Amino acid sequence: MSLCVGGRPARTAIMLTAIAALIMLTPMLWVVILSFKDNASLMADTRSAFLPPWTLANYWSIVGEGQVFTWLMNSVIVALAMTVGVLLLASLAGFGFARLEFPGRRFLFVIVLLGLAIPEQAVIIGRHQMFSAAEMHNTYAALVLPGLSMPFGVFLMTQYFRAIPREIDDAARLDGASRLRIFWKILLPLTLPAQATLGIFVFFHAWNDYWWPMISATDKDMLTLTVGVAATQMNFAQAEGLGFLMAQAVFAGLPTLLVYLAFQKYIVRAVAGAAGQ
Amino acid sequence: MRRMLALLPLALVSACGNPDARTELVIQRFFGACQAEYGAIADPGKAQGECGIITAMINEFEAGNPDIKVVENTVFWPGYDQLTAQLAANGPPDLVTMHSSAIPDYEARRLLEQLDEDLAAVGISPEQFTAAARAGVTVDGKVLGLPIDVWAPLWHVNMNLFREAGLAVDGKPVLPASPAEFRAHAAQFRQRTGKPYLIQITNKDFAAPTRIFYAWMLQQGVPLFRDARHANFDSPEGRRALEFMKALYQRGDSARNLDYAGAVSAFLKGEGGVMVDGTWMVGQFDAASGNERSPLFRGYAVRPFPFLFHARRVALVDGHNWVMPRNARRTRAERAAARRFLQYFAANDFQWARTGHFPAFRAVIDGAQWRQLPHRGDIAAITQIGEPLPKFVRRQSPIEFIVGEEVAAAYTGAKPVDRALADMQRRANGILQSY
Amino acid sequence: MPDVPAMRRSVTWNRWSGVLFVAPYCAFFVLMLLIPLGIGIRLSMTRGDLFGIEAFVGLDNFARLFADPVFLQAVWNTFCFVLITVPAMTVIGLALALVLNRTSRLAAILRAIFFASTVLSVTVVALIWRLMLIPEGGLAAVLARAIGEQPVAFLSEQALALPAVAVTTIWWGIGLPMVLFLAALQQIPRDLYEAAALDRASKTRMLFSITLPAIRRTIALVLVVEIILQFQLFGQPHLMTGGGPNNSTRPIVLFVYETGWKQWQLGYAAAAAQVLFALIALAAMAQYYLSSRKDAA
């Protein structure tokens, strides 16, 4: 249920939000329009974006980069594997921290929370050295495994498991359900909005990750889309090829947007319809 | 059945592995990727621009050397983060593009192969390089790469505005020969055109303001670095250079608030008289001068930096080179393939020089073919007086960035000139004394 | 007859079996986070580059950091940035979630719009906002001229550059807090609202007495997550301002990147990264402590 269902305040609020959305949208529309312009005319004057001719040439340049579909596949594999892995690990750990008692639980949880504060810059060299020692650079494992340690997922899932009323598991326990069963059959489905949120977050994080994939995957067959596409950028002589860059942005951003659209119905379920059922 | 099962892994291995017996040569470069436009072109003469020409050159090399399989990694400019990571992971490529100014850093850690013998084996002698190109790849007498060009910052001139300002004679730009003359020209330019004389980059891309500062310092006959551990920026010469440029900026004779892309765009739109930028822009500006809708139409000229101070005739240059990172796993066959690749690039230096960069080989500079390219005669002098930064100075690129940041802060008055000089000196020394 | 050893076993099992749920994650946590962190801490006490340690220098790097005006300015910049962005992200994200938590088609479209900018890579975000903010021909300048004002060079003014980077960041990142709040709103039991509606409670009252208390954990979560994310600011200033003008937009991570990867001072960079870790940990803990104290009260 929303803050203001029906009535004038609701309409005012949504109108204001719609106006804000238009302001949000302006730079994005600009990205899209620029992506259909040829680079030379943009360099002379970016305002020429609003005048024809428009062209698909920038998109052809991306697609014509023989490797781009390999990179796309790599990104899909890495992002999916990381998403599934984090969801699984974080759900298990979140349930454990929120619902079970075992020695050292609080201490472990505090340590994991502290882990949230570790910036990537503080660990990246160490990770790089470890994967070098294991000769594991340029593998999917090297691209996926570091992401699985993300404490954010555990933090999020613990919060959501805690928010579920205790009575639900108590009732199930009285029925003689095992912990695994309570977790899997009863509580997990209730965390669907959180799962979807975390899934989107992880997928998007994996997709846009630049720094680690750039130094770990250096074989051109192992590049992710974000890194591969960034490298196709021209040198200074072509003055950054503005339209080309924008086409790259649209091309690389579209898959994550689609994932969001696919997941958002789980984040906001049929509020009105579900009420009272 | 069992035999077939036993063969299966073998079949898989051969399917996944390298099916051809060709030697694999892994090269890594910046300059962008443009497979869509140039992927099928194997004639460099038909390509334009850095990306197009290098793509076509590599295609031509592959076509002419069917026994070598070229694996080409394109990296985001300048690609040193990747290279450093690869070296730390013991998996660097066979050949990498590297700026002359970065070579001392890698050489100090013994990360580059000495190439004297390799070059000699394919008939290349360092004697054939231009002096600047040779200085760029040589450290302690060791040749550590094949230079493919020398580049320099230049004065790109909008002749249409120069004519309007009365600063053109016989279609040639009249450039200042002293600080006083520079002031006068700039004032006259502003008066007659209403525009700033100079378009320079003062935002974000801080290497650019440094190049002007370095040029005025060197022209006063002092070194930029006293020794390997000490810069010389905080000196009377440095103060003079910076104060002069700051006054110019404060009088409104320099465009403001421009980053790299903004400055290029401002010059193309005819918003100022001179843009300071590298050799790589010559082709593009020349093309604009052939376009009747461009403010540069029939009005583009390019010159070396004018000499305002006359203690020394010198121009600061850098260059692009192929270098071979050390790799214990590199086979003899791979090294031989790399040698042939270098041989090809040496033989086709002219094609690369069509990008606007200076050729690395004297024979090309002396040849008529290069001189006939547009504008090359006007800037050829740099090949005589060009000099890279001394090889005993490491970390040149981050120091350039710091100096530029401080120079820009002094221009706008964010800090006084003395503070800016002291800060750039302290920060540069901090880096030079960190290893 | 009860089987006593079996029962004892089962008690022990019950006591410890919970560990099995958290063990898989903890394995990754140790391997991919704690051990690399340990390596980083060791590096912070050395002088050297990526190709090897040259000398152990104890705490010298830290002493040098706290005497380095560039680093101190970077710490200050980082704090300013966090103070601008985190409250803004939280409040705006919550407001959007409250308004857009409905099933109408329009709300779905608006949600997608507010999330869409999040999918862009930082390269593009930086580029597009640079284009928006440049005084010559940028969108902001066009607007300023339209209302008769002189265009402002946002990225060149010391006082304005960091706020401009902050606005860019809010535009880029507002989707995440919005989505987190939306998920939380979904968990509020509907009967609470129905009961309140029967009591004829006003909307404002419902917001303060039902909605906000119900999602307080998520508010804490968003604050902590945003503090952590914004402390790690890097790409936007790297690509929009290069840390300038006059060092006014250089955050700690940019400092770490420049010293470690560009200047090859790996030990010095590692020390700065540890300082950043300490600052984030302190800020996040303070936040968490405050909000859980409110919880208890």
Q: What is the average per-residue pLDDT within B300-323?
A: 96
Chain C nearest CA to B333, separation (Å): 27
Of A21, A93, A121, the CB nearest to C21: A93
Cis geometry, peptide bond prior to residue A53 (ω within 30 degrees of 0): yes
Chain B nearest CA to C57, separation (Å): 12
Q: Which domains does chain C have, with CATH numbers?
A: 60-296 (1.10.3720.10)
The β-bridge relationship of strands B23-29 and B149-150 is unpaired
Residue B373 has pLDDT above 70, yes or no: yes
Q: What is the average per-residue pLDDT within A48-58?
A: 79
Of C136, C244, C264, the CB nearest to B408: C244
Interface size, chain A vs chain B, as Cβ–Cβ contacts under 8 Å: 112
A232 with B31: Cβ contact below 8 A? no
Q: Which chains sit next to C, with 3 or more Cβ pairs under 8 A?
A: A, B
Q: Is B260 exposed, middle or buried (0-12, 13-18, 19+ CB in 10 A)?
A: middle
C273 with A24: Cβ contact below 8 A? no
Q: Which of A48, A124, A227, A238 to mutate to test the interface with B (most CBs of B within 10 A)?
A: A238
C119 with A264: Cβ contact below 8 A? no
Structure confidence at residue B9 (pLDDT): 47
CA A161 to chain centre: 21
Neighboring chain A residues of B268 at a CB cutoff of 8 Å: 43-44
Question: Going by C-beta distance under 8 Å and a sequence separation of 6 or more, which residues neighbour residue B418?
Answer: B239
Q: Which of C256, C262, C265, C268 to mutate to test the interface with B (most CBs of B within 10 A)?
A: C262
Any chain C CB within 8 A of the CB of B427?
yes
Encoding tokens for residue B110?
């013994």
The β-bridge relationship of strands B23-29 and B68-74 is parallel
Chain B nearest CA to C180, separation (Å): 34
Beta-sheet strands, E only, within B110-152: 138-139, 142-143, 145-147, 149-150
Q: Is B433 exposed, middle or buried (0-12, 13-18, 19+ CB in 10 A)?
A: exposed
C153 with B256: Cβ contact below 8 A? yes
Residue A17 has pLDDT above 80, yes or no: yes
Chain position carrying tokens 């606007």: B356
Residue B216 has pLDDT above 50, yes or no: yes
Half-sphere exposure (Cβ direction) of B40: Cα atoms closer than 13 Å:
3
Residue B375 contacts residue B355 (beta carbons within 8 Å)? no
CB atoms within 10 A of CB B145: 30
Q: Which residue has the higher pLDDT, B124 or A228?
A: B124
Structure confidence at residue C5 (pLDDT): 62
Lowest mean pLDDT among B87-96, B351-360, C9-18: C9-18
Neighboring chain C residues of A130 at a CB cutoff of 8 Å: 35-36, 39
Closest CA to B390 of B223, B150, B243, B148: B223
Residue type, B349: D
Residue B129 has pLDDT above 80, yes or no: yes
Residue type, B374: P
Residue of C nearest to A151 (CA): C29
Residue of C nearest to A30 (CA): C128
Distance CA C148, CA C130 (A): 22
Q: 3-class SS at B175?
A: coil
Report chain A's terminal Cα–Cα distance, integer Å. Answer: 13
Chain B nearest CA to C184, separation (Å): 40
Question: Going by C-beta distance under 8 Å and a sequence separation of 6 or more, which residues neighbour residue B49?
Answer: A234, A237, A238, B283, B284, B355
Of B88, B206, B401, the CB nearest to C51: B88
Residue B165 has pLDDT above 70, yes or no: yes
A117 with C100: Cβ contact below 8 A? no
Whole-model pTM: value is 0.92
Distance CA B69, CA A1 (A): 63
Q: Which of C246, C256, C258 to mutate to test the interface with B (most CBs of B within 10 A)?
A: C246
How far CA B261 is from CA of A7, B258, C184, C248, in Å, comes to 50, 8, 44, 21
Neighboring chain A residues of C254 at a CB cutoff of 8 Å: none
Any chain C CB within 8 A of the CB of B105?
yes
Structure confidence at residue C296 (pLDDT): 54
Structure confidence at residue A234 (pLDDT): 56
Lowest mean pLDDT among A74-78, A174-178, C110-114: A174-178
Distance CA B312, CA B329 (A): 47
Q: Is the dihedral of CA A212, A213, A214, A215 positive or negative?
A: positive
Structure confidence at residue B2 (pLDDT): 47
Structure confidence at residue A277 (pLDDT): 26
Structure confidence at residue A173 (pLDDT): 84
Lowest mean pLDDT among B151-155, B271-275, C7-11: C7-11
Q: 3-class SS at B412?
A: helix
Residue A141 contacts residue A222 (beta carbons within 8 Å)? no
A30 with C131: Cβ contact below 8 A? yes
Residue B210 has pLDDT above 70, yes or no: yes
Q: What mean pLDDT is reported for chain A? A: 83
Q: Which domains does chain A have, with CATH numbers?
A: 66-231 (1.10.3720.10)
Pick the most confident of A177-181, A262-266, B212-216, C219-223.
Answer: B212-216
Neighboring chain B residues of C261 at a CB cutoff of 8 Å: 80-81, 84
Residue B3 has pLDDT above 60, yes or no: no
Give A200-252 pLDDT, tens digit per residue: 889 988 988 888 998 999 888 999 988 887 777 655 544 456 788 788 878 88
Distance CA A220, CA A227 (A): 10
Distance CA A173, CA A171 (A): 5
Residue of A nearest to B80 (CA): A215
Residue B7 has pLDDT above 50, yes or no: no
Q: 3-class SS at B206?
A: coil
Q: Which chains sit next to B, with 3 or more Cβ pairs under 8 A?
A: A, C
Chain A nearest CA to B31, separation (Å): 5
Residue B300 has pLDDT above 90, yes or no: yes
Give B31-66 pLDDT, tens digit per residue: 888 888 898 999 999 998 898 999 999 999 999 999
Chain A nearest CA to C104, separation (Å): 9
Residue of B nearest to A124 (CA): B85
CB atoms within 10 A of CB A11: 11
Residue C61 contacts residue C44 (beta carbons within 8 Å)? yes
Structure confidence at residue A273 (pLDDT): 31
Q: Is C214 exposed, middle or buried (0-12, 13-18, 19+ CB in 10 A)?
A: middle
Structure confidence at residue B200 (pLDDT): 94
Interface size, chain A vs chain C, as Cβ–Cβ contacts under 8 Å: 299
Residue of C nearest to A275 (CA): C190
Distance CA A32, CA C50 (A): 40
Give B308-319 pLDDT, tens digit per residue: 999 999 999 999
Neighboring chain B residues of A237 at a CB cutoff of 8 Å: 49-51, 280-281, 283-284, 355-356
3-state SS track over chain C: CCCHHHHHHHHHHHHHHHHHHHHHHHHHHHHHHHHHHHHHHHHCCEEEECCEEEEECCCHHHHHHCCCHHHHHHHHHHHHHHHHHHHHHHHHHHHHHHHHCCCCHHHHHHHHHHHHHHHCCHHHHHHHHHHHHCCCCCHHHHHHHHCCCCCCCHHHCHHHHHHHHHHHHHHHHCHHHHHHHHHHHCCCCHHHHHHHHHCCCCHHHHHHHHHHHHCHHHHHHHHHHHHHHHHCCCHHHHHHCCCCCCCCCCCHHHHHHHHHHHCCCHHHHHHHHHHHHHHHHHHHHHHHHHHHHHHHC
Structure confidence at residue B4 (pLDDT): 45
Closest CA to B273 of B411, B179, B165: B165
Encoding tokens for residue A47?
């305002």
Q: Which of C12, C15, C21, C212 to mutate to test the interface with A (most CBs of A within 10 A)?
A: C21
Q: Which of B75, B81, B201, B279 to mutate to test the interface with A (most CBs of A within 10 A)?
A: B75
Lowest mean pLDDT among A29-43, B124-138, B173-187, B351-365: A29-43
Q: Which chains sit next to A, with 3 or more Cβ pairs under 8 A?
A: B, C
Residue A237 contacts residue B280 (beta carbons within 8 Å)? yes
Q: What is the dihedral of CA A42, A45, A50, A52, to 10 degrees?
A: -60
Q: Is B48 exposed, middle or buried (0-12, 13-18, 19+ CB in 10 A)?
A: middle
C114 with A24: Cβ contact below 8 A? yes
Distance CA A250, CA A156 (A): 30
Distance CA B399, CA B112 (A): 22
User: pLDDT above 70 covers what percent of chain A?
Assistant: 87
Q: Which residue has the higher pLDDT, B410 or C150?
A: B410
Structure confidence at residue C254 (pLDDT): 95
Q: Is A29 exposed, middle or buried (0-12, 13-18, 19+ CB in 10 A)?
A: exposed
Distance CA A157, CA A202 (A): 13
Q: 3-class SS at B275?
A: strand
Any chain B CB within 8 A of the CB of C121?
no
Give C164-207 pLDDT, tens digit per residue: 999 999 999 999 999 889 988 887 888 888 888 888 888 888 88
Of C52, C130, C247, the CB nearest to B259: C130
Structure confidence at residue B13 (pLDDT): 46
Residue type, B42: A
Residue type, C27: A
Which helix (H) or strand (E) segment holds residue A87: the answer is helix A68-99
Q: What is the average per-residue pLDDT within B385-398?
A: 94
CA B249 to chain centre: 26
Give B248-283 pLDDT, tens digit per residue: 999 999 999 998 888 988 999 899 999 999 999 998
Any chain C CB within 8 A of the CB of B419?
no
B260 with A236: Cβ contact below 8 A? yes
Residue A52 has pLDDT above 80, yes or no: no
Q: What is the average per-residue pLDDT within B410-420?
A: 96
Q: 3-class SS at B426?
A: helix
Q: What is the average per-residue pLDDT within B376-398?
A: 94
Q: For residues B275-291, b (16+ Cβ closer than 10 Å) or e, as one string?
A: bbbbbbbbbbbbbbbee
Neighboring chain C residues of A274 at a CB cutoff of 8 Å: 190
Lowest mean pLDDT among B120-124, B219-223, B248-252, C175-179: C175-179
Distance CA B422, CA B402 (A): 12
Residue A8 banded pLDDT, cuts 50, 70, 90: low
A237 with B35: Cβ contact below 8 A? no
Residue C223 has pLDDT above 70, yes or no: yes
Please tell me what DSSP assigns to residue B169. E
Distance CA C124, CA C227 (A): 23
Neighboring chain B residues of C241 at a CB cutoff of 8 Å: 203-204
Residue B211 contacts residue B316 (beta carbons within 8 Å)? yes
A231 with B89: Cβ contact below 8 A? no
Residue C212 banded pLDDT, cuts 50, 70, 90: very high
Encoding tokens for residue A16?
């204001």
Structure confidence at residue C8 (pLDDT): 63
Residue B143 banded pLDDT, cuts 50, 70, 90: very high
Q: 3-class SS at A29?
A: helix
User: pLDDT above 70 covers what percent of chain C?
Assistant: 95
User: pLDDT above 90 covers what percent of chain A?
Assistant: 31
Any chain B CB within 8 A of the CB of C63?
no
Structure confidence at residue C74 (pLDDT): 97
Q: Is the dihedral of CA C169, C170, C174, C180 positive or negative?
A: positive
Q: Which domains does chain B have, with CATH numbers?
A: 23-147+320-379 (3.40.190.10), 153-316+394-432 (3.40.190.10)
Structure confidence at residue A261 (pLDDT): 83
Max Cα distance, chain A (Å): 74
Encoding tokens for residue B347?
């033989």
Residue of B nearest to A216 (CA): B85
